[in-house]
């Protein structure tokens, strides 16, 4: 957990691992897996590096209405010269498709613009 201090009391930021994916599973009434972002090796990357990239692209895919907009949004957030910034749409698609195969119950929610629906559910 990260913490920060605002005036006198201490504030704590909770880290809910897999929150967005868990919400998609919850909308289906299904128990989510423990680590939704862990996949078999796809691009020959170290497991932690691949997991980080998968998490990033899936978060973008939950917010996006198309795969290409998810890929663009993912790369836009990456540092210039980084591996993540240099990943092609084809490479990101391999990761997205592997995630969908692992999570068939929620695959139709990816790149569907479902985030607006989730946001409305949470805010009411």
Does a structural domain hold residue 67?
Answer: yes
Please give the residue range of the domain that contains residue 117. 18-123
What gap in Å lies between CA 74 and CA 84, rounded to an integer? 8
Residue 56 lies in a domain: yes
Residues 60-71: pLDDT tens digits?
999 999 999 999
Question: What's the token pair of residue 103?
Answer: 């999570």
Residue 45 and residue 83: Cα distance in Å, rounded? 10
Number of domains, the chain: 1
pLDDT digits (tens, 9 = 90+) for 65-118: 999 999 999 999 999 999 999 999 999 999 999 999 999 999 999 999 887 766
7 domain-assigned: no
pLDDT tens for each residue of 12-69: 545 566 888 998 999 899 999 989 999 999 999 999 999 999 999 999 999 999 999 9
Q: Is residue 10 part of a domain?
A: no
5 found inside a domain: no
Distances (CA, A) of 73 to 70, 88, 105, 118: 5, 13, 24, 19
- Within-domain flag for 11: no
Per-residue pLDDT for 8 more than 90? no
Is residue 6 one of the residues assigned to a domain?
no
Question: At 3, which helix (H) or strand (E)?
Answer: strand 2-5
């Amino acid at each position: 957990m990260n913490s920060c201090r605002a005036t006198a009391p201490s504030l704590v930021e909770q880290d809910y691992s897999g929150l967005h994916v868990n919400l998609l599973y919850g909308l289906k009434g299904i128990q989510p897996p423990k680590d939704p972002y862990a996949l078999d090796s796809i691009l020959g990357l170290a497991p932690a590096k691949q997991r980080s990239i998968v998490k990033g692209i899936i978060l973008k895919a939950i917010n996006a209405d198309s795969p290409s907009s998810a890929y663009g949004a993912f790369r836009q957030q990456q540092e210039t010269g980084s591996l993540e910034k240099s990943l092609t749409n084809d490479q990101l698609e391999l990761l997205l498709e592997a995630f969908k195969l692992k999570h068939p119950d929620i695959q139709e929610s990816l790149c569907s613009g479902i985030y607006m629906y989730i946001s409305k559910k949470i805010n009411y």
